[in-house]
Amino acid sequence: MTVKTNISDDKKVLTIVIEESFEFSQYQIFRDAYSEIDVIGIKFILDLSKAAFMDSSALGMILLLKDHADKLSGELIISKPSVMVNKILEIAQFHKLITIQR
Amino acid sequence: MMNRFDVTKKIKNLQGDKVLPQLSYAAMPAWEWQLKLGVERLRCGNPIPIIMDQIYAIEGDEPQWENLYTILTELFVNAMDHGVLSLNSALKNSAEGFGQYFDEREKKLNNVDTGFVHIALKRFNEKVGGKILITVKDSGPGFDVSDVMKKLDTMNDAERVYSGRGLKLVKHLCETLEFKEKGSLVEVTYVWR
C-alpha cells in the first residue's frame, strides 16, 4: 500500500490518501503522515476511495488520527470509502464517531 | 435449514424402515482446502491473498469473497499475534501502546523459531447460496475464552477503544463462531445466500 499526503496552501487541510489496502503493516507510515502536524483547527481528510481493503487495526489507526485531530481542536473527515471499506466502517459503527462523506 | 440427520431421516422414511448405508450427500463438502504454515513462511507475511487466489481459481469472482477476505485476515492475524507471537492486545489500549504493539510484533516475528498456523476451509453447497466452514488452529497455548467472549458481547461499538474490533467484525459477518482447544482453535461458518 501507499500513503500519500497533500497539505493545502493555507496549511489548514491535510489530505491523506490510502491506496490499495489499509492495514496494520502501514502503521508507522500512516502515523508519520500526520504526527508532526500541530496546526490548531486543522482539518484532516482521510481519502479511502482507493483503499480496496481495510482490516481491524486500521480502525484503531483511524481513531488515533481522530484523537490527534481532537487534540488540535480540528476535525477528521473520511472521504469516499470504497464499498468494502465502507461496510467495515459501518459494522464498527464509525459513522457515530466520525463524519463519513460518501 | 436441513442438516445431515434430517436428510437421513427423510431417506429412511421414503424407504420404510430400511436405513441406507451411506450418509446423505448434503453433508459432503463441495471442496476442502487447507494450508499449514511454519514460522519460516509466517515471517514472510500474510498468506491470505494466496488463499483468496485459490478460492478465485476454484469458484470465480463472487461478491461474497470480500467478506471472506475480512474473516480470514482477522482470524489469521489473531492466530499469529496472540497464538504464535503471544502479543497482548491490552498494549493497544493507549496511543503509545498501539505503536509499541507493532514494534514488538516486528521484533517477535524476527526472533520466533517455532510455531504454526493451520487454516482449513470446507465449502458446502446450500439450497440457495453456500457455506464455508473455516477452522484456524495456532500453536499457542490458548487464552481465557470466556473472558474474551464476554468482552465481545458487552463491547460498545461507539466506544473509542483502539483494539478488539477484529473478532467483532468476524462475529458480525459469520453465522457461527466457536473457540475450541482453549482458544487455540477457532471455527466459524460463513454463509451467503
Does the CB of A64 have a partner CB in chain B at under 8 Å?
Answer: yes
What is this model's ipTM? 0.89
Q: Quick check: helix, strand or coil at residue B30?
A: coil
Position B35 pLDDT exceeds 80? yes
What the block records as the C-alpha cell of A91 is: 459494522
pLDDT at B94: 85
Instruction: Express as a percent the part of chain B with pLDDT over 70.
Output: 85
Position B13 pLDDT exceeds 50? no
Task: List the domain boundaries for chain A.
Answer: 2-101
Q: Which CATH number fits domain A2-101: 3.40.1350.10, 3.30.750.24, 3.40.50.720, 1.10.390.10?
A: 3.30.750.24
Task: List the domain boundaries for chain B.
Answer: 29-192
pLDDT at B164: 81
Instruction: Express as a percent the part of chain A with pLDDT over 90.
Output: 87
pLDDT tens digits for range B98-111: 889 989 999 999 99
* B29-192 fold: Heat Shock Protein 90 (3.30.565)
Distance from CA of B17 to the nearest CA of A (A): 49
Q: Please give the residue of chain A at the shortest CA–CA distance from B159.
A: A97
pLDDT tens digits for range A1-45: 689 999 999 989 999 999 988 998 888 899 999 999 999 999 999
Q: Please give the residue of chain A at the shortest CA–CA distance from B64.
A: A84
Does the CB of A91 have a partner CB in chain B at under 8 Å?
Answer: yes
| Residue B31 parent element (H or E) | strand B31-38
Q: What is the mean pLDDT of residues B125-148?
A: 94
Q: Do A93 and B99 touch (CB under 8 A)?
A: no
